[in-house]
Every structure is written in C-alpha cells, then in structure tokens.
C-alpha cells in the first residue's frame, strides 16, 4: 500500500466519523426536543382535564344557586299570597312575614351577584366560561405535541438507521422530519398556526 492510498483511507475514515458524529448530535438534539414535546403534551392534557373539572364545578355551583334562588322566589310568592288571602292576620304575623319576604328578596339578589365573594350566579357563570376557554386552549395544544412526538420518534429511528446503513438519504429524511417535529412542538406551546 502506498502513502497516498493510506492517506485516502484515513481521510475516508475521518469523513465517516464526522458523518456519524453529526448524526449522533442530531439524534441527541431531537431526543431533547422529544422530551420537551412529551412534557408539553402531558401538561396540556392535565391542564385540559383540570380546567374541565373547574368549569363543571362552577356550573354545578351556578345550578345550585339557581335552584336555591328559585325556591326562595316560590317562598316569597307563597308568603305574598298568604298575606293577600288572610287580610285579618294579626299585625305581628304580617310584620314577621313581611320581614321574611324582605330577607328572602335580599338573598335572591345576593344569589344573583356577589362581587365580594365571587359566588353569585353572574360571577360563577363568568368563572365557568373562563375555565372553558383555558380548557379549549389546552385541547388545541395537545394534538400538536402528539404529532411532534410521533414525528420525532420516526426521525430518531431514521437517523439511527442512517448510521448503520450508511445512507445519507435516511439522514436527510430524518433531519427534515425532525425539523417539522420541532416546529410542531413550538406550535404546541405558542399556537402560531
């Protein structure tokens, strides 16, 4: 073997090492992006579930307030009718019933809106809608993370096979797929598209 042949073999081996190193680095980067996509997908799924529960709780509380308010309205109507049916009722009884009617009407108004405690029907409905909005946002994020995870796994497999098979086409296919997966991960966080 002559010196120039040895030099060519060393150069070819060195080029092969650079290609393998480049591929290994790309795999490492894509594995990191896969971990981030997995974390983002897990968090968005948890957030969607949590916000859905909070929305359901707010609607249930709203419904309970509505039922209590309805029961008080019926009680007020009954007491007012009782006052009309019994004009000869003793003044003390009329005053007691009138006081109860006033108390119930105040409670009916309070059930409709309680800005200080944020537990009135209006506030509860607003909270429920906010939780639904947050849930819907998380539900829009989740599929992007799923797409990214699938593409990243395929890209890593393609890149790994490109090392073994020494096929540059597999490297480029894996790298392009990894790029699209990285963009899908970013879109999962920011919903740009």
pLDDT score of 146? 98
pLDDT score of 10? 52
164 near 24, Cβ under 8 Å?
no
154/180 Cα distance (integer angstroms): 12
113 near 122, Cβ under 8 Å?
yes
Structural domain boundaries of the chain?
22-190
Q: C-alpha angle with apex 39: 35 to 44, nearest 5 degrees?
A: 150
pLDDT score of 16? 83
pLDDT score of 92? 97
**Claim: this prediction has a pTM higher than 0.75:** yes
Handedness of CA 4, 9, 14, 15 (dihedral sign): positive
Backbone dihedral region for residue 120 (phi beyond 0: left; psi -120 to 50: alpha; all else: beta): beta
pLDDT score of 142? 98
pLDDT tens for the chain, residues 1 to 193: 565 565 565 565 666 889 999 999 999 999 999 999 999 999 999 999 999 999 999 999 999 999 999 999 999 999 999 999 999 999 999 999 999 999 999 999 999 999 999 999 999 999 999 999 999 999 999 999 999 999 999 999 999 999 999 999 999 999 999 999 999 999 999 999 9
């Amino acid at each position: 073997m002559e010196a120039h042949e040895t030099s060519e073999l060393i150069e070819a081996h060195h080029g092969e090492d650079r290609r393998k190193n480049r591929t290994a680095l790309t795999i490492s980067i894509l594995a990191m992006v896969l971990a981030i996509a997995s974390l983002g997908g897990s968090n968005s799924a948890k957030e969607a579930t949590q916000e859905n529960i909070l929305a359901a709780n707010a609607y249930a509380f709203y419904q309970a307030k509505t039922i209590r308010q309805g029961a008080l309205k019926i009680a007020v109507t009954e007491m007012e009718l009782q006052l009309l049916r019994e004009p000869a009722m003793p003044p003390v009884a009329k005053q007691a019933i009138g006081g109860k009617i006033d108390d119930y009407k105040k409670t009916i108004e309070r059930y409709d809106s309680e800005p200080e405690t944020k537990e009135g029907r209006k506030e509860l409905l607003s909270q429920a809608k906010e939780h639904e909005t947050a849930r819907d946002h998380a539900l829009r994020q989740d599929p992007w993370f799923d797409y990214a995870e699938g593409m990243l796994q395929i890209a890593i497999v393609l890149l790994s096979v490109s090392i073994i098979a020494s096929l540059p086409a597999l490297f480029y296919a894996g790298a392009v797929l990894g790029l699209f997966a990285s963009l899908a991960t970013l879109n999962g966080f920011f919903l740009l598209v």
